[in-house]
Amino acid sequence: MTTQELIRQIHRKKSFLCVGLDVDMQKIPAHLLEEEDPIFAFNKAIIDATSHVTVAYKPNIAFYEAYGIKGWEALHKTIGYLNEKYPEIFTIADAKRGDIGNTSAMYAKAFFEDLGFDSVTVAPYMGKDSVEPFLEFEDRHTILLALTSNQGAFDFQTKDTEGRELYKRILETSGKWKNSHNLMYVVGATKAEYLADIRRIVPDSFLLVPGIGAQGGSLEEVCKYGMNENIGLLVNSARGIIYASGGMDFAGAAKTEAEKIQSIMAAVMPG
Amino acid sequence: MTTQELIRQIHRKKSFLCVGLDVDMQKIPAHLLEEEDPIFAFNKAIIDATSHVTVAYKPNIAFYEAYGIKGWEALHKTIGYLNEKYPEIFTIADAKRGDIGNTSAMYAKAFFEDLGFDSVTVAPYMGKDSVEPFLEFEDRHTILLALTSNQGAFDFQTKDTEGRELYKRILETSGKWKNSHNLMYVVGATKAEYLADIRRIVPDSFLLVPGIGAQGGSLEEVCKYGMNENIGLLVNSARGIIYASGGMDFAGAAKTEAEKIQSIMAAVMPG
């Protein structure tokens, strides 16, 4: 998907909501456990209930890997369902991969070709040649970790690195890599006060912002400091939406929560 | 597996060779493509041919993910075969994972419980709470990226960070995390001259050293600067061994190459 198509979808839905599909078998409604594939049944219901106000879905790959081959089958079915029924919706494999060049090329193949995601999250620690194999894919997007939503972000990411905090150095350096127009960045909502500084370095890039809801970040603050003229934000909520209810009404409850967030988004969007 | 068991194996085999199972369908001998599971057939043959001189096997997870569900099935069969037939051999999931706490816990479950690996490689960028869920598993090992073997290592890892190169800061900081006795570190063989400095910071830790062979690192240099009194090294070779021949004799050729490396290792080991 091109960035322009994503922007058009955002304006059409008046939403920049990304729903995180972090599916934990211990948290999904008990009646789904009788289904042949409980994870996919859960995802399908959540997607169908929220797609009208959602511009991106983000399966968190760890949650699928934890269930082994069954988990991968559920992931395949989920991305297949999204690509077939909702091709206009942006898809994010939240995988946080990154390795030496020939290995990153295999990960890129896995997520862009085998699974067919529009984008994948990538860790920057191994530098340029670990990221460029992902960037080679045109109209696919590489979402590089910059400033993450967790407490551990302060261990290394915010440390001064030759006169720049590490995450700022990563934003600046990665902008010089080949095909850097295919980059987006992860910035946690729990660190919204950093967004103004980040926007000075990457004014045009899309930012994937996890951390509202269960992690405590504020949507209003994120919009205030992070929005650019193309909106430029994908704000993720996972647990707050997908586990809004643990009962038979889980999909309806997810719909209600997603619509609540979308209405806040619509109110702050220009035009 | 405990560290003591690993050390005993190293002394018994007079080897600290790790064989990287980075299986690319385009590089394995053509006759294997007729097998029901070519990747597993290849791995099984390589393992059986090299296990007498090998103390660790390291499947590179990207290479399995790139083949989707078939790849995951081959990975399951490979680790299952290792754990059943060669339980004394150390196993490494080269996955370079790392995410917020609840997600890292799912990755730990995937690699330690579902797949049954002894260890997994983890990226440090997200800090303490992204690594500690892996460290919670006793007698399992978390191999943290410190200084990687690729050129991109110089983009961020070696940058001065508040008076310390970033990789050194990671070595020092991670040593204070809970259950840090379960940590090992990745240090690329292509940067052997850094090993003396690294040993001053982590004198007792095991180091996983990729990058000899195809990537150009020197085994002799690694031993000179990196060995400690427990040997403390797992030196990985992948392409140089597993693709030593592309013909019917691939397993025999892999055996010869593995034995060559082991004989160099035996010669430099004390006693």
Which residues of A carry out catalysis? 96
A11 in a domain, yes or no?
yes
> What would the two tokens of residue A8 be?
């058009």
Q: Best mutation site among B67, B100, B166 for testing chain A: the one with the most A CBs within 10 Å?
A: B100
Q: Which domain holds residue A214?
A: 3-168+183-266
Interface contact A100-B128, CB threshold 8 A = no
Residue A151 confidence (pLDDT): 96
Q: What is the mean pLDDT of residues A197-215?
A: 93
Residue B103 confidence (pLDDT): 96
pLDDT-based confidence at residue A270 (cuts at 50, 70, 90): confident
Closest Cβ opposite residue B68 in set A68, A114, A154: A114
Q: Best mutation site among B132, B144, B150, B191 for testing chain A: the one with the most A CBs within 10 Å?
A: B150
A148: closest chain B residue by CA? B126
A159 touching B (Cβ < 8 Å): yes
Q: Would residue B44 show up in a list of annotated catalytic residues for this protein?
A: no
How high is the mean pLDDT of chain A? 96
Count of domains for chain B: 1
A145 in a domain, yes or no?
yes
pLDDT tens string, chain B, 271 residues long: the values are: 999 999 999 999 999 999 999 999 999 999 999 999 999 999 999 999 999 999 999 999 999 999 999 999 999 999 999 999 999 999 999 999 999 999 999 999 999 999 999 999 999 999 999 999 999 999 999 999 999 999 999 999 999 999 999 999 999 999 999 999 999 999 999 888 899 999 999 999 999 999 887 788 899 999 999 999 999 999 999 999 999 999 999 999 999 999 999 999 999 998 7
For A116, counting Cβ atoms within 10 Å of its Cβ (0-12 exposed, 13-18 middle, 19+ buried), the class is: middle
A162 touching B (Cβ < 8 Å): yes
Instruction: Please say if the pLDDT value at position A181 is more than 90.
Output: yes
Closest Cβ opposite residue B153 in set A96, A126, A159: A126
Residue A220 confidence (pLDDT): 92
Instruction: Please say if the pLDDT value at position A271 is more than 90.
Output: no
Residue A71 confidence (pLDDT): 95
Interface contact B161-A157, CB threshold 8 A = no
Interface contact B150-A100, CB threshold 8 A = yes
Residue A216 confidence (pLDDT): 83
Question: How many distinct helices (H) and strands (E) make up chain B?
Answer: 12, 10
Residue A260 confidence (pLDDT): 97
Residue B112 confidence (pLDDT): 98
A173 touching B (Cβ < 8 Å): yes
B267 touching A (Cβ < 8 Å): no
Percentage of residues in chain A having pLDDT higher than 70:
100
Interface contact B76-A66, CB threshold 8 A = no
Task: In whole angstroms, give the CA distance from residue A239 to residue A23.
Answer: 9
Instruction: Please say if the pLDDT value at position A65 is more than 90.
Output: yes
Closest Cβ opposite residue B76 in set A69, A100, A114: A69
A172 touching B (Cβ < 8 Å): no
Chain A residues in contact with B68 by the CB 8 A cut-off are 72, 76, 110, 114-115
Find out whether B134 and B109 touch, Cβ atoms under 8 Å.
Answer: no
A177 in a domain, yes or no?
no
Task: In whole angstroms, give the CA distance from residue A165 to residue A159.
Answer: 5
Chain A residues in contact with B131 by the CB 8 A cut-off are 152
B156 touching A (Cβ < 8 Å): yes
Find out whether B213 and B242 touch, Cβ atoms under 8 Å.
Answer: no
CA angle A16, B126, A156 (to 5 degrees): 120
A175 in a domain, yes or no?
no
Q: What is the mean pLDDT of residues A123-139?
A: 97
Residue A134 confidence (pLDDT): 98
- Assign B65 to helix, strand or coil: helix
More confident call, B142 vs A192: B142
pLDDT in tens, A95-111: 999 999 999 999 999 99
A220 touching B (Cβ < 8 Å): no
A111: closest chain B residue by CA? B66
Measured between alpha carbons, how far apart are the two ends of chain B, in Å?
A: 24
A39 in a domain, yes or no?
yes
Find out whether A97 and B54 touch, Cβ atoms under 8 Å.
Answer: no
DSSP collapsed to 3 states, A172-239: HHHCCCCCHHHEEEEECHHHHHHHHHHHHHCCCCCEEECCEHHHCECHHHHHHHHCECCECEEEEECH
Instruction: Please say if the pLDDT value at position A191 is more than 90.
Output: no
Task: Identify the active-site residue in B14, B70, B96, B224.
Answer: B96
Q: What is the CATH number of the domain that holds B100?
A: 3.20.20.70
pLDDT in tens, B215-266: 888 999 999 999 999 999 999 999 999 999 999 999 999 999 999 999 999 9
